[in-house]
Amino acid sequence: MAIKGKPDEFFDELEIMSADTREKYFNQRLSQTIDHAYRHAPAVREIFEEAGVSPDQIRSVKDLERLPITRKTDLIDLQKANPPYGGFLTTPPEEVERVFLSPGPVYEPIQHSGIRWFAKSFWAAGFRKGDVVINTFTYHLSPAGILFHEALRDCGATAIPMGTGNTEIQIQTMHDLKVTGYVGTPSFLMTLIKRAEEMGYNFRRDFALKRAWFTGEMLPPSLRKTFEEDYQIATAQTYAVTETGGALAYECREKSGMHLMDEYVIEIVDPETGKQLGPGEIGEIVVTPIHNKVWGLVRFGTGDLSSYITEPCPCGRTANRLTGIVGRAGDAIKVRGMFVVAKQAEQVFLGFEEIAKFQISVTRREQRDEMTLKVELKHEATEEDKRRLAKDLDGKFQDVCRIKPDRIDFIKKGTIPEQYQKIVDERTWE
Ligand SMILES: [Zn+2]
């Protein structure tokens, strides 16, 4: 909990390490983790052998590029072939305290005693002793219920294991126990507020809720504004991935990106080559836990796409920040060296009311990728209107996706089929 002689803002010393200290810390922890996993987990040994790499060649974060990425589908296959843990267990099985299940199924062994770092994300969101908090994540199978519950306790807060559903019981509990904190998805909090209002409550007057901690779902800026301004609820987001057993990045009070959790080595890489990318470049989030005593995952590919920024944060935390999740690796294709993500493109088109549908087509001409935005309009438009729209669209697309479209074609309404992909790769490589 708060560090002696430091502002109450920080949970531990790791959050305020200097860049030099962090680099040394990562390299040292990573070396230990790699040596341990190689010695005890047969699956890890096999990964190294296939890559022709020895553990003493992995001594820095950069060295990780030598190793392949293990994805969820690999984990499922490996656990099927070598049950139950796929050869990733680094301790005798009786040392495993808990096992969680995620869809697949993937079995995730966890030894939780002594782990407190999850609490960092709640601490940064302002949870303290005196808070009474409902945790609305499920307590069955997945780690969210019990791990977030314990993290709240580590912050000193009173935790109520509500689980999912039971909307009216949740509302009554929030009211009767003067609940001050919410843990769950943004959409479920909105459901609770709306239902409470239908039941005749005035939410701001009759409830004591003042902070909310979200994960598992995007928080649209408009919804965040509603929570913060209309209902006076402070909001904070965390990025968590169940297979890695944890919360990987979290927002501070600046709400401008999520600080990377120092208990993991988190890389942003080109999903095709596995090479690390620089600040601002969109790539896949790849995770190596460096404090997990039983589970030897090395370079787990989350499939989530993001980028990171290195600018210092006014909050005082020194870790780099993730800029948010922009999509899934399968939804993105590389055009002239830049990833174009369907979801990001969608954001661009949503800003134009007159557009009914769009599709992005990528072709190849004279050794160069060409990107065409195909647009269906809701109503007929004059050539003049189309020219103006094309110009606006072109500018906005470059702002958001950081790449210039080669053409914008207005096509007849109904040309794009009912079930369609937002981005079509029509390139041939001959
Ligand atoms: Zn910060």
State in Å: Cα 133 to ligand 1 middle.
23
State in Å: Cα 382 to ligand 1 middle.
48
State in Å: Cα 259 to ligand 1 middle.
6
pLDDT (mean) for 246-257: 94
Highest mean pLDDT among 108-112, 236-240, 242-246, 344-348: 236-240
Cα pseudo-dihedral 241, 242, 243, 246, rounded to 10: 70
- Determine the pLDDT at residue 420: 85
State in Å: Cα 255 to ligand 1 middle.
7
- Determine the pLDDT at residue 328: 79
State in Å: Cα 224 to ligand 1 middle.
18
Question: How far does Cα 159 stand from its chain's mean position?
Answer: 24
pLDDT band at 4 (very low <50, low <70, confident <90, very high): low
**Residue 150 CB: number of other CB atoms within 10 A?**
15
- As a whole number of angstroms, the distance between CA 248 and CA 39 comes to 26
State in Å: Cα 174 to ligand 1 middle.
30
State in Å: Cα 310 to ligand 1 middle.
11
Residue 410 has pLDDT above 70, yes or no: yes
State in Å: Cα 202 to ligand 1 middle.
33
State in Å: Cα 17 to ligand 1 middle.
13
State in Å: Cα 192 to ligand 1 middle.
29
pLDDT band at 199 (very low <50, low <70, confident <90, very high): very high
Chain segment 293-327, per-residue pLDDT in tens: 899 999 999 999 999 999 999 999 999 999 988 88
Higher pLDDT, 102 or 270: 270
- Determine the pLDDT at residue 430: 58
Residue 425 has pLDDT above 90, yes or no: no
Non-local (6+) Cβ contacts of 28 within 8 A are none
pTM of the model: 0.84
State in Å: Cα 15 to ligand 1 middle.
10
Residue 183 has pLDDT above 60, yes or no: yes
Using the structure block, give the residue that is written with the tokens 């809701």.
378
- Determine the pLDDT at residue 2: 58
pLDDT (mean) for 77-89: 95
State in Å: Cα 22 to ligand 1 middle.
16
Residue 72 has pLDDT above 70, yes or no: yes
State in Å: Cα 36 to ligand 1 middle.
33
State in Å: Cα 241 to ligand 1 middle.
21
| Residues forming beta bridges with residue 184, ordered by sequence position | 214
pLDDT (mean) for 170-190: 96
State in Å: Cα 253 to ligand 1 middle.
7
State in Å: Cα 119 to ligand 1 middle.
16
118: left (phi over 0), alpha (psi -120 to 50) or beta: alpha
State in Å: Cα 407 to ligand 1 middle.
40
- CB contact at 8 A, 182 and 213: yes
State in Å: Cα 321 to ligand 1 middle.
8
Chain segment 53-71, per-residue pLDDT in tens: 999 999 999 999 999 999 9
State in Å: Cα 346 to ligand 1 middle.
28
State in Å: Cα 254 to ligand 1 middle.
6
State in Å: Cα 316 to ligand 1 middle.
6
State in Å: Cα 98 to ligand 1 middle.
32
State in Å: Cα 307 to ligand 1 middle.
16
